[in-house]
DNA sequence: CTATGGCCCTGGTTGC
DNA sequence: TGCAACCAGGGCCATA
């Protein structure tokens, strides 16, 4: 599932193919993919614009649009579970799951999404969407002091808290499980019961996990995530716990366990991540 | 404030 | 073998 590393990889590989390109035409093949705007309005908003910059915020891919050198809104793409972006030659068939297609002055940008959860939407300003996002885990605001304060200020289980995009923006199910294992924290542990030293380690391990995953162009363990070049990532080979339930922990050899937390499959090692006592609290 | 459960979706897997 | 039920999961929303 695309999380921060997969989105970052997509941005990096797509950038040289889209920045500076002009949108000649737009086709919306699945109206809900462009959000609240109806397909005609979406088309009007993007056709004729030039893509001035391509960047990432959390799991969003941001296309800055310009007209006559002036800012003209943004397209925000969220890949959700199965979304993909790619630039192909005009005649290339991207298949039956293509939801939105932008004809560029060189190539065609396609948004392909099997499960239709993803979005490819136009906004006058990205702030409309970004105001509710929390700190960027690879950015300057993600510090040990911040983590210590914010964990203490809440009483939530770590797993759902780290998945909450208004807290830290960019982590998903996979990298939360990986980072918690690397830190030695149980997913059910209450945030205000995390010792300061562990909060510090959590910051380092989240950063390290994400950076290593970006380095390997993300994780591909099913048919879905591929880079814009069509290549799978390789971070799945580094997974310590995700999808490894029933297999031995790579650190201690104990069998990795899978439970459900906040409707999400959650993988952890019972020895490396000792259970908090008394409903996630006392410990 | 925090937790829970439904919804959106499809394709792959499981169970009978 | 066939087919239905089930599951995965990010973000959002309503409800407890």
CA–C1' gap, A48 and B5, in angstroms: 44
Give the closest residue to A3 by CA, choosing from A198, A189, A168, A197: A168
Q: Do A120 and A174 sit in the same domain of this protein?
A: no
Q: Are strands A23-28 and A83-88 parallel, antiparallel or unpaired?
A: unpaired
Statement: residue A263 has pLDDT above 60:
yes
Predicted pLDDT at A282: 39
Residue A270: pLDDT band with limits 50, 70, 90: very high
Q: Do A11 and A122 sit in the same domain of this protein?
A: yes
Strand-pair partners of A264: A261
Residues 6+ apart with CB under 8 A from A78: A59, A60, A61, A118, A119
Predicted pLDDT at A78: 94
Residue A16: pLDDT band with limits 50, 70, 90: very high
Domain boundary among A103, A130, A157: A130
Q: What is the pLDDT of residues A55-86, one digit of tens each?
A: 999 999 999 999 999 999 999 999 998 999 99
Q: Which nucleotide is nearest to A164 (CA to C1')?
A: C11
Q: Is A121 exposed, middle or buried (0-12, 13-18, 19+ CB in 10 A)?
A: buried
Q: Do A151 and A94 sit in the same domain of this protein?
A: no
Instruction: Spell out residues with C-beta < 7 A from strand C.
Output: A 1, 3, 58-59, 78, 80-82, 115, 117, 129, 132, 163, 165, 172-174, 263-265
Q: Do A275 and A151 sit in the same domain of this protein?
A: yes
A116 labelled catalytic: no
Domain limits at A162?
A: 144-280
Scan residues 110-169 of chain A and list those with Cβ within 7 Å of strand B.
114-117, 154-157, 160-161
Q: What is the pLDDT of residues A190-248, one digit of tens each?
A: 999 999 999 999 999 999 999 999 999 888 877 788 888 888 888 989 999 999 998 99
Q: Which of A52-61, A92-101, A164-173, A270-279 has the lowest mean pLDDT?
A: A270-279
In this structure, is residue A250 part of a structural domain? yes
CA distance A84 to A70: 28
In this structure, is residue A137 part of a structural domain? no
Q: Do A115 and A172 sit in the same domain of this protein?
A: no
Q: Do A84 and A205 sit in the same domain of this protein?
A: no
A262 in contact with nucleic chain B (CB within 7 A): yes
Average pLDDT, chain A: 92
In this structure, is residue A273 part of a structural domain? yes
Q: Which nucleotide is nearest to A154 (CA to C1')?
A: B1
Q: Do A268 and A189 sit in the same domain of this protein?
A: yes
Contact A171, A207 (CB under 8 A): no
Q: Do A241 and A164 sit in the same domain of this protein?
A: yes
CA distance A198 to A153: 16
Predicted pLDDT at A278: 63
Q: What is the pLDDT of residues A174-202, one digit of tens each?
A: 999 999 999 999 999 999 999 999 999 99
Q: Do A262 and A148 sit in the same domain of this protein?
A: yes
Q: Do A125 and A149 sit in the same domain of this protein?
A: no
Phi, psi of A207 (to 5 degrees): -60, -50
Statement: residue A36 has pLDDT above 60:
yes
Phi, psi of A220 (to 5 degrees): -130, 110
Number of structural domains in chain A? 2
Quick one: how far is CA A102 from the chain centroid? Answer: 23
* End-to-end Cα separation, chain A, in angstroms: 33
Q: Are strands A119-123 and A108-113 parallel, antiparallel or unpaired?
A: unpaired
Catalytic residue among A43, A59, A119, A148: A59
Strand-pair partners of A168: A135
CA–C1' gap, A115 and B11, in angstroms: 9
Statement: residue A137 has pLDDT above 80:
yes
CATH number at residue A105: 3.20.190.10
CATH number at residue A188: 1.10.8.50
């Amino acid at each position: 599932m695309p999380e921060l590393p997969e989105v970052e990889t997509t941005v990096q590989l797509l950038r040289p193919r889209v920045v500076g390109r002009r949108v000649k035409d737009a086709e919306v093949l699945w109206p809900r993919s462009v959000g609240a705007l109806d397909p005609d309005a979406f088309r009007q908003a993007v056709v004729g614009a030039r893509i001035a910059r391509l960047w990432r915020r959390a799991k969003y891919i941001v296309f800055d649009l310009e007209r006559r050198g002036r800012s003209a809104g943004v397209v925000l793409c969220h890949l959700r579970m199965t979304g993909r972006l790619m630039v192909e030659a005009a005649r290339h068939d991207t298949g039956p799951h293509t939801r939105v297609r932008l004809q560029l002055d060189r190539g065609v940008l396609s948004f392909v999404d099997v499960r239709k959860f993803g979005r490819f939407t136009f906004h006058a300003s990205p702030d409309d969407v970004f105001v509710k996002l929390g700190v960027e885990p690879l950015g300057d605001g993600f510090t040990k002091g911040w983590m210590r304060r914010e964990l203490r200020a809440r009483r939530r289980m770590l797993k759902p808290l780290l998945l909450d995009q208004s807290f830290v923006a960019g982590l998903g199910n996979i990298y939360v499980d990986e980072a918690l294992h690397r830190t030695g924290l149980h997913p059910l542990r209450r945030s205000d019961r995390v010792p300061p030293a562990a909060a510090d380690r959590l910051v380092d391990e989240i950063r390290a996990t994400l950076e290593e995953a970006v380095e390997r162009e993300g994780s591909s363990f099913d048919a879905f995530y591929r880079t814009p070049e069509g290549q799978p990532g390789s971070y799945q080979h580094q997974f310590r716990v995700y999808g490894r339930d029933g297999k031995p922990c790579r650190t201690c050899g104990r069998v990795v366990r899978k439970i459900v937390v906040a409707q999400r499959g959650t993988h952890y090692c019972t020895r490396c991540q000792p259970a908090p006592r008394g409903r996630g609290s006392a410990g």
